[in-house]
Structure 1
């Protein structure tokens, strides 16, 4: 069940999420001045959210979990630093400086090729904060926390080489994953299950039960649905369903960057609250990807294209999915797991419903989708993977449940990640 936090806390953390997303706008250096106007509430978090998005896009690793790790490290440092702010009139200036300093230092360490842009963005932020002890102490807190989180995460096994540790494909057998057309690429993301989580005790902590037996009614229903609706030349899939499949075919990290920014931008919380939202969202997404890999490579379930072409249920060697199948096992679905975690964090810390917002997708140029609830993103992810012909509905639904479980664990243990002070959130069990 999606989490629900106390209503009094949702506005604060909503602000955290929205502010984080605007950080990608280009920053122009400006001279520091004691009389410079203070930044508008939330603008610094949004500026550095956008700076993070721009940096990750420009210096992207080939593995999603590595890019998610970059987001998590920068924003955990920002949240910790901002939460150090003392009370009093300088609290907001301290938090803004701390967020900018922490994210800047983490990104420079993780994407050194972007230093010039990041230095310019930091100069612009600090130029808008009145000089004084609050600014100086915030900058120092950010630098200290960035260094600390980078040291904590050193050697965590979430680099591209570790993520794609070679996997020995089992002998072909009914139900067992094999490389898929077109290309029959080797398995990817096997090493994610061996990476060090942020908060999970073990990769298998919330491992789902096994997928349906090949002679079960549920398995036959799953296969029939994918065969009919996920075929490249389906006669039953509607244009709207095809558009949904294409829209959500892109990577989860990219597709959820806009929704999270909406959440952050609409928040009225402090910089510390907003930074905490971004940090928890991405820590949960990393742990979710670790848990997903554990499930996939425990059950090693074949993909629909293999089942339909070579299985015992009305085999059709010529069947083709609408979209090319990713090179890893079916169960559970990684897109659905990511969506379940994202919805759980946003429902708990922002509230399940918001004013209408539009998002775009790199795999569906020119298409804009409108949503009013985070659950709508999850629903479309589940359907899209079936209509793309690349997942069974059972794999999608198991993925959502796994993501929810991991995110609930993240929220229950937020103070372990972010330090004392608490979010005041008591997720339901």
Structure 2
């Protein structure tokens, strides 16, 4: 009788422990997980219609948190960003003597941050719930599980502490952009005539830059309406480029459009089409390469954090000059001084001309990726396939960045100096991130 009772108690104990700790199954489950979760985050960002600067901030904080979670499995090799990134304090550390499974910590930290920065927090919360359910189903020691989840949530809150004090909340109390009679000053453009987007983005605290103006590219060409002036010739170049666009250049313009919210009017009805942001496009390029090369989670987290920080600082740098110069867009100038019936290929975004955000962000991201994977890494970019566009192939990241930049001329929404100076500006931002922030000891 005592033997039967002992067996019964043993069975109950085994049942209460759930599945045994399945290390191999867990490791397989987390392969490529950060690429997958960044794609899920993109889906939410697109649906929530965040502007390019705001989207870049969301990617940066989320990927910083993910890196901080998984780097702990090899802290002697992977330093913390706490104390390296501006205004990011030291983060919560594991408790000595306790066991953790850091991939869980990483994704919990990622989702804890992401759900506080998007509108549809329920979708991110659902992702986290599904993650934890899957982990338990695969099999994990209960103590390790609880330790890992708790640490991930604490790291997420540490990262969010910076987000709550980076100027994002205060910017909405600042004055709106004012439109006046200055013919060279930016003004709203067709078809929506939207107000200027994020005129105070330069007040957001940069992650690595010393200031928003650290890599100021310089002012644009002086505004002038004389047909012999340099400015008129720059506008004429945009005008003639669009008028004589071939199929290849048209495809390039559309591929790199990345306007998060395009409006279309049919009759009296207006509807909107959501797309990925330019920063999101480069996050997806990064994720695709990581998947192709089967990069482990720790190295993937470092790459995504590095790229996202560079992109976020690129937008802060770019937006600083945009609203310093507040230059009119080609569409406004051409319609008034060259051809009133002319239209660009792409819808003109609702912010000033100089410099090109695509150029700055793309060059910054390409600088990071080239440093990680090499100068001649050829890849097929399938980012735009979900949005109805074909795959495009590139011989290098810099080649893709150059195409992204010149696409703005083909699309009719930027003068050449905004593109060329934007590329230089982005390279400087990217190189500064490489020089200042250590991801490897």
TM-score, L = length of structure 1:
0.78
Rounded to whole Å, the distance in 2 between the matches of 1:137 and 1:279 is 24
Measured in 2, the distance between the counterparts of 1:254 and 1:366 equals 16
Q: Aligned residue pairs: how many?
A: 378
**1:78 equivalent in structure 2:** 66
Preserved contact between residue 227 and residue 389 of structure 1 (Cα < 8 Å)? yes
C-alpha contact (below 8 Å) 1:292/1:333 kept by paired residues: yes
Q: Would you say 1:242 and 2:228 are equivalent positions?
A: no
Provide structure 2 residue ranges, at least 5 long, that are not aligned to the other structure.
1-17, 77-98, 259-276
Question: Greater relative contact order: 1 or 2 (C-alpha under 8 angstroms, separation 6 or more)?
Answer: 1
Are positions 1:290 and 2:316 aligned together? yes
Aligned equivalent of 1:228: 240
Structure 2: distance between partners of 1:303 and 1:253: 22
Structure 2 counterpart of 1:53, from 28, 39, 50: 39
Q: CA distance change for structure 1 residues 359 and 242 in 2, over 3 Å: closer, same or farther?
A: same
**d(CA) in 2 for partners of 1:379 and 1:194?**
28
Q: Is the 8 A contact 2:283 2:307 kept in 1?
A: no
CA distance in 2 between counterparts of 1:70 and 1:358 reads 22
Distance 1:35 1:125 in 2: 9
1:249: how far off? Answer: 0.9
Partner Cα separation in structure 1 for residue 334 and residue 386 of structure 2: 26
1:142 to 152, 177, 185: 152
- Consecutive unaligned residues in structure 1, runs of 5 or more: 1-30, 416-421, 425-429
CA offsets 1:43-64 (integer angstroms, 9 cap, x no match): 6262233223323423535323
Larger Rg: 2
Aligned to 1:212: 221
For residue 366 of structure 1, report the CA deviation from its aligned partner.
4.1
Q: How does 1:17-416 map to 2 (within 5 A)?
A: 32-35=19-22, 37-40=24-27, 44=30, 46-58=32-44, 60-85=48-73, 94-111=101-118, 112-114=121-123, 115-125=125-135, 127-128=137-138, 130-131=140-141, 137-158=147-168, 162=172, 166-173=176-183, 175-214=184-223, 219-230=231-242, 234=243, 236-250=244-258, 251-267=277-293, 269-311=295-337, 315-361=338-384, 365-415=388-438
Distance 1:271 1:363 in 2: 25
Contact 1:360 1:368 in 2 (8 A): yes
Secondary structure of the corresponding residue to residue 73 of structure 2: coil
Contact 1:100-1:125 within 8 A present in 2 as well? no
SS of corresponding position for 1:180:
coil
Contact 1:104 1:122 (C-alpha < 8 Å) held by counterparts: no
Q: Is the 8 A contact 1:36 1:128 kept in 2?
A: no
**Between 134-143 and 404-413, the greater mean CA deviation after superposition:** 134-143
Aligned to 2:268: none
Between the aligned partners of 1:223 and 1:411, the Cα distance in structure 2 is 36
Deviation per CA, 1:218-247: give whole Å up to 9, x if none: 5344222211112xxx2x210111111111
SS of residue paired to 1:370: strand
CA contact (8 A) 2:370 2:397 kept: yes
Structure 2 Cα separation of the partners of residues 268 and 281 of structure 1: 18
**Compared with structure 1, are the counterparts of its residues 380 and 99 closer, same or farther at alpha carbon in structure 2 (3 Å cutoff)?**
same
Alignment deviations for residues 131-171 of structure 1 (CA, whole Å, 9 cap, x no partner): 37766654444222111101121132336973996211232
Q: Judge conservation of contact 1:177–1:301 (CA < 8 Å) in 2.
A: yes
